[in-house]
Amino acid sequence: MAEETGQTLVRPDRPIGTDLTELAVLSGAELIGSDRTVHGVTLRAQDAGPGDLFAALAGSRSHGADFAAEAVERGAVAILTDAQGLTRLRAEAATADVAVLVHDDPRRILGGVSARIYGDPSRQLTLIGITGTSGKTTTAYLTEAALRAAGRTVGLIGTVEVRIDGVRVPSLLTTPEAPDLQRLFAVMLERGVDTVVMEVSSHALALGRVDGTRFAVGGFTNLSQDHLDFHHTMDEYFTAKSALFDAASPVHAAAAVICVDDAWGEQMAQLARGGAERCATVSTTGAADWSITGTVTADAGSQTVVMTGPDGAEHVLTVPLPGAYNVANALLAVALAATAGVPVPTAIAGLGHVAVPGRLEKVDCGQDFLAVVDYAHKPAAVEAVLATLAGQGSGRIAVVLGAGGDRDTEKRPLMGAAAVRGADLVIVTDDNPRSEDPAAIRAAVRGGAEQVPSRQRRAEQVREVGDRRAAIAAAVDWARSGDVVLIAGKGHETGQEIAGHKHPFDDRAVLAEALDAAAGQTAAGDRVLTVFTAGPEATVDQAKALLRTLAAAAADEGVGSTHRAPGTDETVHRRTWAIFGDLAEAGADENARCVAHDLLGRQAVRLAVDQTLAVGQTRAVRALYQGAIMEGSWGEEAGFFTTVADLTARLTAAAGTSAVPRGGDMVLVAGGGDLAASLLTVWDADPALDVRRPTA
């Protein structure tokens, strides 16, 4: 079967087709032109095929009628549009004579029209729709597994993918547009699918993408803050979700299964009881038709609980995923499958080995700490995932996260707040900035983190690293044995949207690359930071001698740019550093001191020291910095800090990254009064470093 792309659509092999006159009666549209039989429908002109109806809808920037000529050229025989669209169609020669269905609100009738064109396929399927803020994807995968265990032929429609009888079809939206959805149902039916599990987003319900669909069973997971850029308030958000259960909604499910672990669930259950033929409740925390009555075992990868069904019978349920919220997801999945006619023991057996892409997905490259990727991109989800990881061990937790652009802005500070409450290290980075300024998004997330009172914080550090790849690498560099690294927000996604372009980016692949790079560093003595020091009153000559000592030691151990293989990434290679304060020069006037310091800076570069840092405000220190710059290339080998405090702040903020000395590097520190003592205090306090101080 072909994959669904912009050029090749999965279409029914035996389309049913419907006359335009029948569609006009069904929808209340006016038919202008001769009657035709249409066999398909699309919103995208480039996807039109022979015999299609093209839906030309008004958009925020353009009108679909402006693209109708392309649709007709590709084979479309009729167009659904509004009065404005009709005017545009008749003004163009290519579309002047085409048959048109005209309606004041064509989007409102598109779902029903699409369903009829494809023969109302959902009425011939057992369709299970799952809605809620978090847990839809995991619950869908678990429900699919439970149904397959019973011998059902299952279709899956969701955030990660669409599967038609086991064949993967890429999915761009949690719920496809109405024409795509009805076409998928028709293909599934043709391929022998009898049961479909689909995620149903609030956008799909509000925008009519599921109109014309008959749901046999509807499931509700939970409700927490998300999408308030679209729904504006939590009440509006709830109302959108409730369309799957409200008797007044044309798409309400015949049967409902509602998780009542939160107040929104209780409210949804009350509503569903008035609209569904059957309504069952699910809870992991209290009384319900389906409930958890005990915990048998729990480890890092799975948990076993005792569940009780509506008949009072107890069952042992093994959930192959960590976290209390996944117990709720699994219990809901069992209840959904049972409502669809699957025996409970069969449903439970089917859950045993389910893996959900991008949901607490482990990335194992042989490291001695846990590294996972999760789709958590809402405050409540971040909080839940961090709580789950904290419950698995006593190690430290690092989380890398950001927030999406052009989306709910109110949740950004809440994301940062949830992160600092649950992790030891928070690295704020870019998610999908889309058309927004990435720095402004990061500032909002970091602002929320910094507003959390110290007594409520777990995080000792909050860093900001805009480049997501560098942020992931920094988290991996920070981790030690027994720790946890969580990369949150993008999960299964394979691209990053920046300024209108989608760049290839998969958190799982990038995390694996960082782990492999770190493994190479570890093999080379990654945690050892070798520090050569001279006294606070060291002279320029003593510093020169110490430079030669550093160069010799680096040569012996293969540290520094001189020993780097061609093409090796310098940010992951072990490096040499020379950090100088003001140095003594007996009997010399100020000009002579400046010359001596200048020559010292030049010598450091000539000895291939990777980074020379000058610390202080004297003319001599500035001369040392200028000497290193003049001897080097474009100043990349040198850095300048006015005070020791400025440098120590940099060391703390960028700890574990290539911007400062880290494990595996060699460092010389000389002069500057308390410079060496201050730096050693910072490095000694870093648990990721093993500081060694050879005798110079």
Binding-site positions for ATP read 132-138
Please say whether the beta carbons of 628 and 638 come within 8 A: yes
Encoded amino acid at 100, one letter: V
Q: List beta partners, residue 190.
A: none
Q: Give the separation between CA 607 and CA 602, rounded to whole angstroms.
A: 9
Q: Which residues are annotated as a binding site for meso-2,6-diaminopimelate?
A: 407, 431-434, 489, 493
Nearest to 608 by CA among 566, 660, 552: 552
Q: Give the separation between CA 32 and CA 484, rounded to whole angstroms.
A: 64
Q: Give the separation between CA 333 and CA 47, rounded to whole angstroms.
A: 35
Please say whether the beta carbons of 327 and 302 come within 8 A: no
Residues ≥6 apart with Cβ < 8 Å to 395: 369, 370, 481, 482, 483, 484
Nearest to 371 by CA among 492, 521, 473: 473
Please say whether the beta carbons of 671 and 581 come within 8 A: yes
Quick one: 281 exposed, middle or buried, by C-beta within 10 A (0-12, 13-18, 19+)?
A: buried
Structure tokens at 297: 């075992």
Please say whether the beta carbons of 309 and 338 come within 8 A: yes
Q: Give the separation between CA 92 and CA 89, rounded to whole angstroms.
A: 6
Please say whether the beta carbons of 694 and 530 come within 8 A: yes
Return the percent helix, strand and coil in the chain, to nearest 5.
40, 20, 40
Q: How many of the other CB atoms lie within 10 Å of CB of 693?
A: 14
11-48: string of b/e by CB count within 10 Å (b at 16+)? bbeebeebebebbbeebebebbeeebbbbbbbbbbebb
Residues ≥6 apart with Cβ < 8 Å to 103: 27, 28, 29, 30, 80, 81, 82, 109
DSSP state of 584: B
Q: Give the separation between CA 546 and CA 579, rounded to whole angstroms.
A: 11
Angle subtended by helix axes 379-390 and 324-339, to nearest 10: 110
Q: Is the torsion defined by CA of 219, 222, 227, 230 positive or negative?
A: positive
Q: Which residues are annotated as a binding site?
A: 43, 132-138, 174-175, 201, 209, 407, 431-434, 489, 493
